[in-house]
Amino acid sequence: MNSITAENLSAAYEDKLVVDGLDLNIPKGMITSIIGPNGCGKSTVLKTLGRIMKPRNGMVYLNGKDISRLSAKEIAIRMAILPQSPQAPSGLTVGDLVSYGRYPHQRGFGTMKPEDRKIVEWALEVTKLSDLETTAVDNMSGGQRQRVWIAMALAQQTDLILLDEPTTYLDMSYQLEVLELLYRLNREQNCTIAMVLHDLNLAARFSDHMIAIRGGNIVRYGTPEEVMTADVLRKTFRVHAEIVTDPRSGRPACISYDLIRDEGDNS
């Protein structure tokens, strides 16, 4: 069962085709990570799946329904998407920003009903932000801010969350905190998660599925064991990688890598 299916997807910035004829599935109830080198089109893929970018060609299906035929709000009830380092207006409090997550569920003036308030409180609690509710978002650290945005996506109460590099600019403990939060959401709330990640080892450790992309094409789609191989990483990143099994997580991990020098890079 797939949460999102993309068929023959193409996306372009002006005349530059970034993704060309991609087929891709985001399986329901799993954590899927998209990896790939800079400029390979992984963010573009995520944006087209999340209807932030209109595809040049091809179809995206959300739970089997053509996404271009759904209204903006209908999509927002089913799928939340967090852009890379989003901005909030200055002075906005954590509680207010998280309550914006209720937007697609509200009508008219959108006064907060008791059930909306309960959901916001829950989202704050899960992200350990309950004590910071009245703090202004722009006075917070990067890690806290990322948690606020995740809390907003949680308040949206969707079965699917897309995230574009949720760990960028965070130090190692904050990275783990964010990914563990997403892992818990997936396991406890059965929330499907698809994200772009830069850190391969974190991707392998927390994902059920990985998609390696280069030049807008899928190099390999599969479990972390299938994707985190020396061969796939050579094709995807043009590196010689040393892959071992992480003794703690039992997942594959890349302990060292070098650039490939003798092979001409003609990508």
Identity of the residue, 14 or 258, whose beta carbon is nearer to another protein in the bound complex: 14
The closest alpha carbon to 47, from 15, 11, 23, belongs to: 11
Identity of the residue, 33 or 43, whose beta carbon is nearer to another protein in the bound complex: 43
Strand-strand pairing, 16-27 and 2-13:
antiparallel
- Part of the chain binding another protein (CB under 8 A), chosen from 24-32, 52-60, 232-240, 256-264: 52-60
Decide: is 90 part of the binding site for another protein (CB under 8 A). Answer: yes
Is-contact 198 168, C-beta < 8 A? yes
Decide: is 51 part of the binding site for another protein (CB under 8 A). Answer: yes
Query: 145 — phi, psi (to 5°)?
Result: -60, -40
Q: Torsion angle, CA of 119/73/30/21, rounded to 10 degrees?
A: -160
Rg of the chain over all Cα atoms, to the nearest angstrom: 19
Decide: is 88 part of the binding site for another protein (CB under 8 A). Answer: yes
Decide: is 103 part of the binding site for another protein (CB under 8 A). Answer: yes
Among 66, 110, 172, 184, the residue binding another protein under the rule CB under 8 A is: 110
d(Cα 259, Cα 245) in Å, to the nearest integer?
22
Cα of first residue to Cα of last residue in the chain, in angstroms, is: 34
Among 20, 30, 37, 52, the residue binding another protein under the rule CB under 8 A is: 52
- Part of the chain binding another protein (CB under 8 A), chosen from 32-40, 58-66, 105-113, 248-256: 105-113
Identity of the residue, 33 or 156, whose beta carbon is nearer to another protein in the bound complex: 156
Decide: is 91 part of the binding site for another protein (CB under 8 A). Answer: yes
Among 3, 44, 127, 156, the residue binding another protein under the rule CB under 8 A is: 156
Among 82, 98, 160, 200, the residue binding another protein under the rule CB under 8 A is: 82
Long-range contacts of residues 113-120, Cβ cutoff 8 Å, at least 24 apart: 119/155, 119/157, 120/95, 120/155
d(Cα 76, Cα 11) in Å, to the nearest integer?
21
Binding site for another protein (CB under 8 A): 12-14, 47, 50-54, 71-77, 79-83, 86-93, 95-97, 100-101, 103-104, 106, 108-110, 133-134, 149, 153, 156
